[in-house]
Amino acid sequence: MTSQPGNAWAKPGSQRYPNGYTVGRWPGSAAPAGLLPSGTRGKARLAGRSLCFVLVLAFLLISPMAAWARSEEPAVGKTIGHFLTPAMLQSFFPGADRVGGTEGTPPAAAVYKADRLIGYIFSTWDVTRSRGFADRPLVLLVGLDLTGRITGAKLVQHNEAIGILGLRDEDFRHFPEQFAGFNVNGGTVVVQQPALMSSGRGDASRQQAQQQAQVDAIAHATTSSVMMSDAIIRGARIVARSRGIAGAASSQRRVDIDRFEPADWRRLEASGAIAHLRLAYSDVLGKLREHGAIRIAGVDRDASAGDSFLDLYIALLTPAAIGINVLGRMRYDLYSYSAERGIRNQLLLVAANGRFSVLSRNGDHADLAPIQLVQGARTIRLSAGQIKTQPFLQADNAPPLTEQAVAFIPGDAGLDPAASWQIQLLVPGVTADGRTVFAEFTLPYRLPESYLLKSTTESAAIGDNADDNARMAWTAIWRARYGEIAILGVALATLATILFLQAPISRRPRLHRWIRIVFLSWTLIWLGWYAGAQLTVVLAITWIHSLVTDFRWDYLLADPLIAILLGFTLISMVFWGRAAFCGWLCPFGALQELTNRIARRLRIPQLRIPAALHGRLVLPKYGLFVALLGVSFVSWDLAMAGTEVEPFKAAIILHFMTRWSLVVYAAALISASLFVERFYCRFACPLGAGLAILGRVRVFNTLKRHPECGSRCHFCETICPTGAIRHSGHIDMNECFFCLDCQVAYYDDHVCPPMVWRRKLSEQPPAARLRGVRPGTTSR
């Protein structure tokens, strides 16, 4: 056998990798054309360091720019006078002839007809500081009559990303009109009507959904829909409570639910908002001995009389001024406004420090905790289903705690939170003959006056049957789309399995090829064109704004597929950097790669970009991302105009059914991918640049390399479709899409030059190996 001319390491015959690239020479062959010489590599490293410096500097400027942007927000109390028009007034209150000044807490303007008060107009910005998906002011004017009915709602200012979603301003303007006639006593659910109708829910669930007021979300803007609904309904309830409308009680004082001011644990305990019971061992043993007990059940040792047995803390968390300080805003909002809990439910903190568990279940009442509420002749036992343990509390200066939980007291239990009540603690003891007896300890509680509304004219009772708030309407959306969520969950689990099992898959080139094609087809057709779950740079910039301002988990969860994709992408950063999303889950990226595969099948020539030029072409996308992020803190509209560089709207979200200019732009990028695989992803995608920056948190390197890679062998550089393999053999994970083509080559002993050498060496007779005969040659 003689060696193959010009390529001693290739098997006889013409060798082409599935991508269509010719096997390079190794060893002794010239370096592939376009590789970086040493001087150019030094300049590239300098450029990379300069880019990192620019990125760090840009992020250091974010907070000051955010503060500057906040100074441009509308003045509280001025929006009604600025935006209210006579036509809008008549649409809210036909026949109204006068509007009072914006006054009171929260600010609202009284509306009169023939000197008779007929309702109020309020601005959601004045009442709830409403913000849109862009984390910019979202201002709606809302009319509310004296029965608690919304008479109308108008969107007067917003900064939502209409252009990138392919929507018109009219789509956003018409959405609030659905709330006319709604009563704030009831619940409101923002739904995507087609998903809800096809969700396959049972009759009971369907009947429950019909009892709640439903509004149709704006197509492709569910999160913005939830935010507007939140602003309207929550603002209307706050105004209704403050003005004594919506069925206000005639004599009973009500809890001030909405007012909030910061306070630490010590201040809350000093004011009486947190009640504290301290028991020593002597106290407990003394009471148990009155019942014939000789020891405390469940305690493995006797203690001296002065030892502390238990510190028990109780607090009513329903008022925001207590609940937010103890739980934090996110968990308080979740528990207060969850669709599964009635609006008249009460939240109770049960926390303790000691050797005795106040949340344990024992004896014949294993479903009951050893504490109960007593108010007058009414006793409320706490069952396991009413108690949710907490991993931690947010209150500053909280004492050491061994357990903490939130107990949910249903509205039909009859607890009056404004009246006095008490907690009874039952501590079990054991008698000499083995019987269990209980010692009872009482901790009285009364909500301090500062957490009550001062008069009946300032209170409002919200209806007992209301069990939802638009603030947490995302729960209804998740239930309505459980089928899509399940499909996405299975797909993500499959992808994780593929990436973790990359070695056995890469050893089977045909299996790898079909897995790649099938998964990318699913990403494009189902995830992109059907579900519309395309992450965009608008989402990335919005989330950054939220993190440096007022982060809201409920808004993030309003679109379940996007939320799940985001969570998976962030987690996958640890293992694969940006590659899991950009290489497998981006619908537009899938469209480019599948298009390129068809082009290579049709033998359309592929353009190989020289490494030196490639290193410069990848830099602009990072500059574009930093520029869009920085501009967004100065001019959101200008930043959104800049995000038009993304072709996702035309190609994925709107299925090419939009303005011809956007279609032509998207088609041009797809056409470019016929000749250069993933042209847009590699050189122009600001979202990919942002994910690449975040992808630096990657701590695992699962792509295998041979010792010869980059030293004598440069074969993988010629087969990498995205130019992510450097001349040194190093894989640049900022540019890698985890297509696994290099791994297929790594294991192929008919393609990879080092593997070809080892295979041929192993096929030689032992005597030839001992004589050092070069594989592929014939000894004389």
Are 272 and 452 spatial neighbours (Cβ–Cβ below 8 Å)? Answer: no
Q: Is residue 622 part of a domain?
A: yes
Residue 106 preceded by cis peptide, ω within 30: yes
Per-residue pLDDT band at 39 (split at 50, 70, 90):
very low
pLDDT at 533: 87
Whether residues 430 and 534 fall in one domain: no
Per-residue pLDDT band at 186 (split at 50, 70, 90):
low
From 68-82, 238-252, 584-598, the region with the lowest mean pLDDT = 238-252
Six-digit token string for 652: 């994925």
- Closest C-alpha among 462, 458, 518, 453 to residue 491: 518
Asked if residue 169 has pLDDT above 60, the reply is yes
Q: Is residue 27 part of a domain?
A: no
Per-residue pLDDT band at 655 (split at 50, 70, 90):
confident
Six-digit token string for 479: 């239930």
More confident residue, 603 or 548: 603
Model pTM above 0.75: no
Task: Please state the rounded mean pLDDT for residues 571-586.
Answer: 90
Whether residues 292 and 400 fall in one domain: yes
Determine the Cα–Cα distance for residues 60 and 71; give it in Å rounded to an integer: 19
pLDDT at 552: 58
Per-residue pLDDT band at 349 (split at 50, 70, 90):
very high
Task: Please state the rounded mean pLDDT for residues 287-304.
Answer: 74
Average pLDDT, the chain: 76
Range with top average pLDDT, 182-186, 282-286, 410-414, 516-520: 516-520
Q: Is residue 467 part of a domain?
A: no
From 201-210, 254-263, 628-637, the region with the lowest mean pLDDT = 201-210
Are 153 and 176 spatial neighbours (Cβ–Cβ below 8 Å)? Answer: yes
- DSSP label at 650? I
pLDDT at 516: 94
Per-residue pLDDT band at 472 (split at 50, 70, 90):
very low
The neighbouring-strand residues paired with 348 are: 316, 407
Per-residue pLDDT band at 19 (split at 50, 70, 90):
very low
Per-residue pLDDT band at 286 (split at 50, 70, 90):
confident
Reported as a single tens digit per residue, the pLDDT across 409-429 is 877 777 888 889 998 888 888
Determine the Cα–Cα distance for residues 128 and 469; give it in Å rounded to an integer: 14
Whether residues 82 and 201 fall in one domain: yes
- Closest C-alpha among 620, 649, 624 to residue 639: 624
Helix orientation angle between 38-60 and 619-632, rounded to the nearest 10 degrees: 10
From 466-470, 555-559, 772-776, the region with the lowest mean pLDDT = 466-470
Per-residue pLDDT band at 624 (split at 50, 70, 90):
very high
Q: Is residue 761 part of a domain?
A: no
- Domain of 423 in residue numbering reads as 265-452
Reported as a single tens digit per residue, the pLDDT across 296-319 is 876 655 555 557 888 999 999 988
Whether residues 133 and 202 fall in one domain: yes
Asked if residue 647 has pLDDT above 50, the reply is yes
Are 443 and 277 spatial neighbours (Cβ–Cβ below 8 Å)? Answer: yes
| 193, 210, 243 - which closes a domain | 243
Asked if residue 23 has pLDDT above 70, the reply is no
Per-residue pLDDT band at 487 (split at 50, 70, 90):
very high
From 145-154, 463-472, 647-656, 769-778, the region with the lowest mean pLDDT = 463-472
| 175, 208, 243 - which closes a domain | 243
Asked if residue 506 has pLDDT above 50, the reply is yes
More confident residue, 52 or 38: 52
Whether residues 284 and 320 fall in one domain: yes
- Closest C-alpha among 409, 131, 104 to residue 238: 104
Phi first, then psi: what are they for 681, rounded to 5°? -60, -40
Reported as a single tens digit per residue, the pLDDT across 378-390 is 888 877 777 888 8
Whether residues 294 and 195 fall in one domain: no
Asked if residue 13 has pLDDT above 60, the reply is no
Are 275 and 314 spatial neighbours (Cβ–Cβ below 8 Å)? Answer: yes
Whether residues 232 and 83 fall in one domain: yes
Total domains in the fold of the chain = 3
List, as one string, the DSSP characters of 198-216. Answer: TS---HHHHHHHHHSEEEE
Task: Please state the rounded mean pLDDT for residues 20-47.
Answer: 41
Determine the Cα–Cα distance for residues 710 and 727; give it in Å rounded to an integer: 6
Q: Is residue 254 part of a domain?
A: no
Q: Is residue 252 part of a domain?
A: no
pLDDT at 167: 61
From 88-97, 352-361, 466-475, 514-523, the region with the lowest mean pLDDT = 466-475
Per-residue pLDDT band at 366 (split at 50, 70, 90):
very low
Q: Is residue 461 part of a domain?
A: no
Asked if residue 220 has pLDDT above 80, the reply is no
For the chain, percent of residues with pLDDT exceeding 90: 20
Are 323 and 299 spatial neighbours (Cβ–Cβ below 8 Å)? Answer: no
Q: Is residue 28 part of a domain?
A: no
Asked if residue 669 has pLDDT above 90, the reply is yes
Phi first, then psi: what are they for 466, rounded to 5°? -80, 120
Are 288 and 316 spatial neighbours (Cβ–Cβ below 8 Å)? Answer: no
Determine the Cα–Cα distance for residues 522 and 511; give it in Å rounded to an integer: 16
- Closest C-alpha among 778, 642, 688 to residue 1: 778
Reported as a single tens digit per residue, the pLDDT across 224-240 is 777 788 788 878 877 88
Determine the Cα–Cα distance for residues 17 and 35; give it in Å rounded to an integer: 20
Asked if residue 722 has pLDDT above 80, the reply is yes
Whether residues 409 and 316 fall in one domain: yes
Whether residues 79 and 54 fall in one domain: no
More confident residue, 276 or 75: 276
